[in-house]
Amino acid sequence: MEDLSIGEKARECGVSVATLRRWDKRGLLKPDIVTAGGHRRYIKINTSNIKRLVVAYARVSSHAQKADLEKQKKCPLCP
């Protein structure tokens, strides 16, 4: 298992270091380890086996555009 520094975890999450510190303060994402010097360490998560959910929002302005709505619903990324 690999430990990540706060900067590495921030990059992994796509957020800033300040955001991770704020999440820690609020109890939203606690570090797995806090060193004797007070440094936060996070355990790297293997995300290759995690299924991702894709959520899409599609709308049209009128009933006459219903065919356009059907086109929007056909997402090329969705199974």
- Identify the pLDDT of residue 49: 67
50-66 burial, b if ≥16 CB within 10 A, otherwise e?
A: eeeeeeeeeeeeeeeee
Does some domain include residue 62? no
- Asked about 62 being catalytic, the answer comes back as no
CATH of the domain at 38: 1.10.1660.10
Of the residues 5, 16, 48, 61, only one is catalytic, namely: 61
- Identify the pLDDT of residue 37: 93
Does some domain include residue 61? no
Asked if 3 and 13 touch (Cβ cutoff 8 Å), the reply is: no
Does some domain include residue 72? no
What pTM did the predictor assign? 0.55
Does some domain include residue 70? no
> In total, how many domains does the chain have?
1
- Beta strand pairing status for 3-4 and 33-34? unpaired
| Averaged pLDDT in 10-residue chunks for the chain of 79 residues | 87 89 91 92 77 73 82 62
Question: Can you give the residue range of the structural domain that contains 12?
Answer: 3-43
